[in-house]
Amino acid sequence: MFAVLVAGRLVQTDVHQIEEMKVLFDLEDITDANHIVVFMTGQTPFPDGFGGAVYLNLPSASGESNWLLLGHLTNQKPSSIYKITGIKKDFEQSTPNIFGSMTALPSPAQPHHAQLGIAVEPLTMLVQQTPVSGISAPKATTLMEFTQKMLQTFYNYASSFACSRETISNSLVGSPSDQFVPLNTLDKWFIEFQSKLQRDPNFWKS
């Protein structure tokens, strides 16, 4: 049902069933890991009204568990990417070990190992939980602002080369091999793309 990808490694599907509604992944040496992707495989959806809380158990010098809530998965949001660089030594927002005694951290001989747990819980409970700060991917609004700025820059650059048919026919610009596109074509594309982006910032994924 679930899989994990530590950036730069192969997809990991060797999940351990801890309880009926809880699973666990062992993550070897995450010293240099920056991002973790957690996703549903598509084989089995969550039951109606349920989702999955994603936790990361990071090693500490004393060997104590430090479970950090990364975020949530649902049937409507079956995958997430988490930036863990800034939270490896920050346990202020850690939660009690909800996965039981079977999830003890590795021995001191493996101090850089970690564990990722997924607990299936009612959606009403998930919406009340607050993930640890500083791990989310860029928000859609940020991506939208960047895309709009990129489009505006491209439009300004391309339109700066606009010239009349007379200028082209008099061969004052360009070379015989150059090809030209009417500026109004670029206008229409620019307006249409902005309209789609405002309706759905993620339309380009489909």
pLDDT tens, per residue, the chain with 206 residues: 899 998 888 899 998 888 889 999 999 888 788 889 999 998 899 999 999 999 998 766 666 667 889 999 999 999 988 888 767 555 545 566 667 654 444 443 455 788 999 999 999 999 888 888 666 554 555 566 666 666 776 767 666 766 666 655 555 555 666 666 676 777 777 777 767 766 776 666 66
pTM beyond 0.75: the answer is no
With CA atoms as reference, report the closest residue to 68 among 129, 6, 137, 122.
129
pLDDT of residue 75: 93
Of the residues 67, 98, 126, the one at which a domain ends: 126
pLDDT of residue 107: 42
pLDDT of residue 128: 87
pLDDT of residue 106: 46
Q: What are phi and psi of 36, to 5 degrees?
A: -130, 130
pLDDT tens column, 150-185: 677 676 766 676 666 665 555 555 566 666 667 677
Whether residues 24 and 69 fall in one domain: yes
- Examine residue 10 and state whether it is found in any structural domain, yes or no: yes
pLDDT of residue 199: 72
Token digits of residue 95? 């939660």
> Which residue type, as a one-letter code, is found at position 144?
M
Q: Give the number of other CB atoms < 10 A from CB of residue 56.
A: 25
Please state, in angstroms and as integers, the Cα–Cα distance from residue 88 to each residue in 32, 58, 184, following that order: 11, 7, 52
Whether residues 34 and 81 fall in one domain: yes
Sheet of 50-57, strand order: 16-19, 22-27, 114-122, 50-57, 67-73
Q: Give the number of other CB atoms < 10 A from CB of residue 194.
A: 15
pLDDT of residue 155: 67
Whether residues 102 and 41 fall in one domain: yes
Token digits of residue 136? 């989310």
- Examine residue 21 and state whether it is found in any structural domain, yes or no: yes
Whether residues 24 and 56 fall in one domain: yes
Whether residues 110 and 167 fall in one domain: no
- Examine residue 132 and state whether it is found in any structural domain, yes or no: no
- Examine residue 67 and state whether it is found in any structural domain, yes or no: yes
Determine how β-strand 16-19 pairs with β-strand 2-6: unpaired
- Examine residue 70 and state whether it is found in any structural domain, yes or no: yes
Domain total in the chain: 2
Of the residues 97, 126, 155, the one at which a domain ends: 126
- Examine residue 135 and state whether it is found in any structural domain, yes or no: no
Q: What are phi and psi of 4, to 5 degrees?
A: -130, 140
Residue 186's domain comprises: 140-205
